Amino acid sequence: MTRDTKRLTWRKSSYSAQSQGNCIEVAPLVTRAMLLTRDSKDPDGPVLTLNRSQWASLLAAVRDR
């Protein structure tokens, strides 16, 4: 599936410092049923599509670290 990701509104966590390199950005799709994620250092790179359940699992795994 090809998307024009430049037209989306991407956001980074407020916990991410501008100088740190380990950040992801997220952009909700219009239906808000899916989220796109990407590496903030590589905005033209690959994009991962997650449903809400997958996003919740990712957040839970990161918080447990």
Tell me, yes or no, whether 46 lies in a domain: yes
Residue 57: is its pLDDT beyond 90? yes
Tell me, yes or no, whether 60 lies in a domain: yes
Tell me, yes or no, whether 61 lies in a domain: yes
pLDDT given at position 48: 92
CA distances from 1 to 38, 50, 58 (A): 15, 13, 22
Q: For the segment 26-55, what is each residue's pLDDT rounded down to a tens digit?
A: 998 877 789 999 988 888 889 999 998 999
Residue 62's domain spans which residues?
23-65
How many domains does one find in the chain?
A: 1
Tell me, yes or no, whether 10 lies in a domain: no
What's the predicted TM-score (pTM) here? Answer: 0.72
Tell me, yes or no, whether 37 lies in a domain: yes
Tell me, yes or no, whether 54 lies in a domain: yes
Rounded average pLDDT over 2-11 = 77
pLDDT given at position 60: 92
9 or 1: which carries more pLDDT confidence? 9
Outline where 1-65 has alpha helix (H). 52-63
Tell me, yes or no, whether 40 lies in a domain: yes
